[in-house]
Chain A
């Protein structure tokens, strides 16, 4: 789907985050592995925090006079992997978690460039991309 409006971009970002949060929540619920629980809980909370940021952007950073069309952003380029794993030693855990966060990072970085006419939104997306980058680093450090 072409994301040509600010609302469509934010809506898609919310969908990505809701699926991310939901993936970590499911992991938290079904895993008995303490390490998995710890990291799932932390990453789920961070995702929920980003959902709050996105909703705030949607209501507080709409400047009607420069609601310009957005070109060159398509949701089809950003797909979240959703394998369900409850064992941190399963290599798929790291692959999936990293894949989710990489997808988010890639989207936020691309969207920030496309919404440069609303600098507050662009800055916020850059910050979100930075946060997700830190998540990726922490996932990569997992043994």
Chain B
């Protein structure tokens, strides 16, 4: 078994290989992207920017594997998933640590991420039921009709940097369980988690070419989309890149599901139980250092709750411990990259430039043992105007903007004036208000007294407006439909 990734534990700089047709292959490229431990600003790996030629070879292998794989009974296909699942369980702590080292999130968050990844494998193993079609006798005299859900061929995903251990599992388990073959393109910023997963996947003994991995950037992605031998793409990342790829998928007649950016509004009503709410707000705004697409970004404080809520939020945010994620006592890690760090600093500056009241400033945070890490402490702007940049754009960092509003209608107007619609949460003790909120708010994932409305694996990871392009989401039944075609068969026997 290849164990290239574990070398980072010994301080070695890893150059991950591609996994093509059941073999580890060193990329022919001469271009590499540095991968950093964001807590230390130290290079831990170099991602090969694989070439178009290599990508074409990978697609060919996946295409060739498809013809046999689709004829493999579903019950047999899922046995590979069971083995992969067990392997992930056995290596759970190690996988979580690698994720923390390359991405920065604290170890509990890495464990949570892998828990969801494993859940997706478990749900995908339900395809002997989920992939069943349906039929009806005598749709006309002596004629029957049925729907068969058939696999289509080679699919691929382009994964993001914020959840490198989990997001690919929204797709590949369902794709191969339904009889397709697959290519994972990890984020070039965080390639090690997926590479380690593939080292474990290799042990499951999947037939060659069923599941492949290509490291790289735009050249790999463009080749995957432009190839006549691929069927569809799943993308998670920024809306700007997602829109470009979505258009390109249309041009090349690919199926596509594009999960883009977000600006999530959290509304707190005056009837709320503040003490119970505050811990959930902390994980919503500052969990994963605000780098979830489900993270709270703007706190809409309705009516009289504004003052006591503000005081409680600032007090709790000040108490959060920030540092290296492998230290179990830390509650928040660094930004995942220098670029992200600079971007967040830029947003905080723009907030002050545009007149925001910076009541908690995380910029001066110093972590003595990790002076070069990309750390920014919890930051809070008060009395933010909905038109300010920090209230409109996705910051993707630990920055909360508080907007006092008069009532629920004003809160919902602000939410609807934002182009994104990934998630929104309401904190209240009123069932009536909760129903009104879930009914009216145009966001794909609604939380009621839940600050991170993260769908479990058997439900679709939804999204609306500029946060999602496509019609079928990742996870659950949507995934089964994305990776299959409904073929209708009408039969009459003489």
Identify the A interface with B (CB < 8 A).
1-8, 11, 58-60, 62-69, 71, 117
**A4-B331, A59-B111 known; A64 and B452 CB under 8 Å?**
yes
- Inter-chain contact total with CB atoms closer than 8 Å: 73
| Segment touching A, from B143-151, B313-321, B382-390, B412-420 | B313-321
Question: CB distance A65 to B450 under 8 Å?
Answer: yes
**A4-B329, A5-B106 known; A63 and B319 CB under 8 Å?**
no
Q: Residues 280-297 of chain B: 1 if any A CB is under 8 Å from the residue's CB, otherwise 0?
A: 101100010000001000
How far is it, in angstroms, between the C-alpha of A3 and the C-alpha of B329 when the chains are bound? 7
Query: Which 3 residue pairs are nearest across A and B when measured between Cβ atoms?
Result: A64-B112, A68-B279, A65-B452
**A5-B106, A5-B108, A62-B115 known; A67 and B330 CB under 8 Å?**
no
Question: CB distance B280 to A64 under 8 Å?
Answer: no
Q: Is B215 an interface residue (CB 8 A)?
A: no
Q: Is B93 an interface residue (CB 8 A)?
A: yes
Q: B453 contacts which chain A residues (CB < 8 A)?
A: 65
User: Can you name 30 A-B pairs with beta carbons within 8 Å?
Assistant: A1-B329, A4-B329, A4-B331, A5-B328, A5-B331, A6-B108, A7-B107, A8-B328, A8-B329, A58-B93, A59-B93, A59-B111, A59-B115, A60-B115, A62-B108, A62-B111, A62-B115, A64-B109, A64-B112, A64-B115, A65-B294, A65-B451, A65-B452, A67-B108, A67-B109, A67-B283, A68-B283, A69-B319, A69-B331, A117-B279
Q: Residues 315-355 of chain B: 1 if any A CB is under 8 Å from the residue's CB, otherwise 0?
A: 01001110000001111000000000000000000000000
**B108 nearest in chain A by CB position:** A7
Question: CB distance B108 to A69 under 8 Å?
Answer: no
Question: CB distance B111 to A5 under 8 Å?
Answer: no
Question: CB distance A5 to B92 under 8 Å?
Answer: no
Q: A7 contacts which chain B residues (CB < 8 A)?
A: 106-108, 111, 328
Q: A71 contacts which chain B residues (CB < 8 A)?
A: 279
Q: Is B89 an interface residue (CB 8 A)?
A: yes
Q: Is B85 an interface residue (CB 8 A)?
A: no
Q: Residues 61-95 of chain B: 1 if any A CB is under 8 Å from the residue's CB, otherwise 0?
A: 00000000000000000000000000001001100
* Those of B108-135 within 8 Å (CB) of chain A: 108-109, 111-116
Question: CB distance A69 to B320 under 8 Å?
Answer: yes
* Chain B interface main SS type: helix
* Those of B21-44 within 8 Å (CB) of chain A: none
Q: A1 contacts which chain B residues (CB < 8 A)?
A: 329
Identify the B interface with A (CB < 8 A).
89, 92-93, 106-109, 111-116, 279-280, 282-283, 287, 294, 316, 319-321, 328-331, 450-454
B8 → chain A closest CB, angstroms: 21
How far is it, in angstroms, between the C-alpha of A65 and the C-alpha of B108 when the chains are bound? 11
**A5-B330, A7-B108, A59-B89 known; A69 and B279 CB under 8 Å?**
yes
Q: Among B93, B109, B331, which residue has the most Cβ atoms of chain A within 10 A?
A: B331
How far is it, in angstroms, between the C-alpha of A62 and the C-alpha of B456 when the chains are bound? 12
How far is it, in angstroms, between the C-alpha of A1 and the C-alpha of B330 when the chains are bound? 12
How far is it, in angstroms, between the C-alpha of A64 and the C-alpha of B106 when the chains are bound? 11
Question: CB distance B112 to A62 under 8 Å?
Answer: yes
B423 → chain A closest CB, angstroms: 11
How far is it, in angstroms, between the C-alpha of A58 and the C-alpha of B452 when the chains are bound? 20
How far is it, in angstroms, between the C-alpha of A66 and the C-alpha of B108 when the chains are bound? 11
How far is it, in angstroms, between the C-alpha of A68 and the C-alpha of B294 when the chains are bound? 15
How far is it, in angstroms, between the C-alpha of A11 and the C-alpha of B327 when the chains are bound? 11
Question: CB distance A65 to B93 under 8 Å?
Answer: no
Q: B452 contacts which chain A residues (CB < 8 A)?
A: 64-66
B462 → chain A closest CB, angstroms: 14
How far is it, in angstroms, between the C-alpha of A57 and the C-alpha of B480 when the chains are bound? 30
How far is it, in angstroms, between the C-alpha of A2 and the C-alpha of B106 when the chains are bound? 16
A12 → chain B closest CB, angstroms: 9
Question: CB distance B282 to A64 under 8 Å?
Answer: no
Q: B109 contacts which chain A residues (CB < 8 A)?
A: 64, 67
Q: A63 contacts which chain B residues (CB < 8 A)?
A: 112, 115
A20 → chain B closest CB, angstroms: 20
A100 → chain B closest CB, angstroms: 23
B113 → chain A closest CB, angstroms: 6
How far is it, in angstroms, between the C-alpha of A8 and the C-alpha of B330 when the chains are bound? 9
A16 → chain B closest CB, angstroms: 14
**A3 nearest in chain B by CB position:** B329
Q: B282 contacts which chain A residues (CB < 8 A)?
A: 68-69
How far is it, in angstroms, between the C-alpha of A64 and the C-alpha of B167 when the chains are bound? 14
Q: B113 contacts which chain A residues (CB < 8 A)?
A: 64
**B93 nearest in chain A by CB position:** A59
A119 → chain B closest CB, angstroms: 14
B100 → chain A closest CB, angstroms: 11
Question: CB distance A2 to B320 under 8 Å?
Answer: no
How far is it, in angstroms, between the C-alpha of A66 and the C-alpha of B449 when the chains are bound? 11
Question: CB distance B283 to A5 under 8 Å?
Answer: no
**A12 nearest in chain B by CB position:** B328
Q: A4 contacts which chain B residues (CB < 8 A)?
A: 321, 329, 331
Question: CB distance B112 to A11 under 8 Å?
Answer: no
B90 → chain A closest CB, angstroms: 10
Question: CB distance B116 to A5 under 8 Å?
Answer: no
**A59 nearest in chain B by CB position:** B92
B377 → chain A closest CB, angstroms: 14
**B325 nearest in chain A by CB position:** A7
B64 → chain A closest CB, angstroms: 37
